[in-house]
């Protein structure tokens, strides 16, 4: 292993030290050892010690090498086992990676399909939303057009207000800023309708219906029967009359037979006078032809009055004030000419007609042109 250099004389070869030992042995015993001989003994001891140390060192080194080899062998064996396990894990990981790659590929395909479906759904939703807005605007336009026609023909202000409110509610559900212009126009039309003076068309129509229902029961001049005379008052017993002193003063009591004759005569004369009063009755009538109507003519006269009132009701609903006034005047003239104006029912009917005639129908109805124009302009732009 590690070689140690030997001590030698200067300028001497290694073989010279070996040759001197026999020479020293050949020398006589009695001769004193030389310096060289004295030096060779410690050198030999040192060489032996060095050899022992070298042997111990080589044994220790070999033992360490052997232990190192065993440890390396064990570690290599463990490394082989680890490599085998690592290989198995690597194969499992590769198989798992392949499965994951397959799954990822399937997921990517599904994602691409989902994206394409989502794009198709978005396009379909946009188309449906656009069509739905168009349908809603078309419906609103039809409703507003119908309400405008009813407003101009029949003056149906509540119906027009309801139509405008429904249109505004439909636009508010979509909550789109593009509809703000339309909603503003609808709001302006609603304010115009609310500012109109109110006409109680329903109340006027109900009064006309009440008069129409009473026409058949109103008394006419031609079918009037004379009133029955009042029954004569029966004479009771004469009350006693007292004077200033408190004494009873009175005629003498009549005889019973004379009293019966007097009572009978009074009864007969009263009945006779009542019959005479029923035969003759004097009354002033300005239209004599009203008394000459036959039952058939009376029936058609009543029907004519009812038709006049029905025409007035239709003119009220259609806001035709001229026809409304003319029909009411004709109905009032017929009541005053042919019907008994002294009857309570006739007076009630005339009072209702006067109340109806006082209604003002001359109101200029606005149009819903602002709302219709806004809806049509939006449809034209879209």
CATH number at residue 156: 1.20.120
* In a domain? residue 252: no
203 with 187: CB under 8 angstroms?
A: no
* In a domain? residue 328: yes
Same domain, 359 and 292: yes
Same domain, 353 and 204: yes
Q: What is the pLDDT along the chain (382 residues), one digit of tens a residue?
A: 444 444 344 444 444 444 444 444 444 444 555 666 666 777 888 888 888 888 888 888 888 888 888 888 888 888 888 888 888 888 888 888 888 889 888 888 888 888 888 887 777 766 665 666 677 778 888 888 888 877 777 667 777 888 888 888 888 877 677 778 888 888 888 888 887 766 667 788 888 899 999 988 888 877 655 434 444 454 444 445 455 555 555 555 555 777 777 888 888 888 777 776 666 555 565 666 666 677 888 889 899 999 999 998 888 877 777 888 899 999 999 888 888 888 898 899 999 888 888 776 656 677 777 888 888 887 777 6
Same domain, 179 and 327: no
* In a domain? residue 341: yes
Position 152 scores a pLDDT of 74
Domain that holds residue 135: 130-196+366-381
Distance CA 91, CA 88 (A): 5
Position 309 scores a pLDDT of 92
Same domain, 161 and 297: no
Picking from 356, 344, 337, 237, the residue whose alpha carbon sits closest to that of residue 293 is 337
260 token code pair: 């019966």
Same domain, 182 and 312: no
Position 303 scores a pLDDT of 92
Picking from 338, 332, 334, the residue whose alpha carbon sits closest to that of residue 354 is 332
Same domain, 209 and 330: yes
* In a domain? residue 228: no
352 with 148: CB under 8 angstroms?
A: no
Which run of H or E residues covers position 339?
none
Same domain, 219 and 292: yes
* In a domain? residue 68: no
Position 21 scores a pLDDT of 44
Same domain, 163 and 303: no
Distance CA 79, CA 87 (A): 12
Position 284 scores a pLDDT of 62
* In a domain? residue 356: yes
Picking from 308, 289, 324, 300, the residue whose alpha carbon sits closest to that of residue 154 is 324
Same domain, 165 and 209: no
Position 57 scores a pLDDT of 86
Same domain, 214 and 352: yes
Picking from 347, 287, 361, the residue whose alpha carbon sits closest to that of residue 319 is 361
27 secondary structure, DSSP code: S
166 with 143: CB under 8 angstroms?
A: yes
Same domain, 339 and 204: yes
* In a domain? residue 302: yes
Same domain, 373 and 335: no
Position 25 scores a pLDDT of 45
* In a domain? residue 79: no
Number of domains in the chain: 2
Position 376 scores a pLDDT of 81
């Amino acid at each position: 292993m590690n070689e140690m250099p030997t001590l030698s004389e200067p300028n001497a070869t290694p073989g010279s030290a070996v040759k001197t030992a026999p020479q020293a042995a050949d020398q006589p015993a009695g001769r004193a050892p030389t310096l060289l001989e004295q030096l060779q003994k410690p050198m030999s001891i040192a060489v032996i010690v060095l050899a022992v140390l070298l042997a111990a060192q080589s044994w220790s080194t070999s033992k360490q090498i052997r232990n190192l080899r065993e440890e390396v062998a064990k570690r290599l064996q463990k490394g082989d086992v680890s490599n085998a396990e690592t290989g198995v894990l690597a194969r499992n990981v590769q198989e798992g990676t392949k499965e994951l790659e397959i799954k990822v590929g399937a997921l990517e395909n599904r994602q691409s399909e989902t994206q394409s479906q989502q794009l198709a759904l978005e396009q379909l939703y946009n188309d449906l939303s656009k069509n739905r807005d168009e349908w809603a605007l078309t419906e609103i336009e039809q409703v507003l057009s119908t309400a405008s026609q009813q407003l101009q023909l029949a003056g149906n202000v509540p119906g027009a207000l309801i139509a405008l409110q429904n249109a505004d509610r439909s636009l508010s559900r979509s909550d789109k800023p593009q509809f703000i212009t339309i909603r503003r126009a609808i709001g302006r039309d609603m304010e115009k309708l609310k500012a109109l003076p109110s006409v109680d068309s329903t109340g006027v129509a109900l009064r006309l219906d009440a008069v129409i229902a009473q026409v058949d029961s109103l008394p006419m001049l031609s079918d009037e029967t004379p009133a029955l005379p009042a029954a004569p008052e029966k004479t009771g017993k004469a009350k006693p009359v007292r004077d200033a002193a408190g004494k009873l003063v009175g005629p003498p009591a009549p005889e019973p037979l004379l009293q019966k004759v007097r009572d009978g005569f009074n009864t007969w004369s009263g009945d006779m006078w009542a019959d005479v009063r029923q035969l003759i009755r004097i009354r002033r009538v300005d239209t004599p032809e009203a008394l000459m109507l036959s039952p058939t003519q009376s029936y058609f006269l009543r029907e004519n009055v009812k038709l006049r009132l029905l025409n007035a009701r239709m003119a009220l609903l259609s806001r035709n004030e001229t026809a409304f006034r003319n029909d009411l005047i004709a109905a009032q003239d017929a009541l005053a000419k042919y019907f008994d104006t002294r009857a309570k029912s006739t007076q009630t009917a005339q009072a209702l007609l006067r109340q109806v005639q006082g209604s003002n129908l001359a109101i200029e109805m606005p149009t819903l042109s602002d709302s219709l124009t806004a809806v049509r302009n939006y449809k034209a732009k879209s």
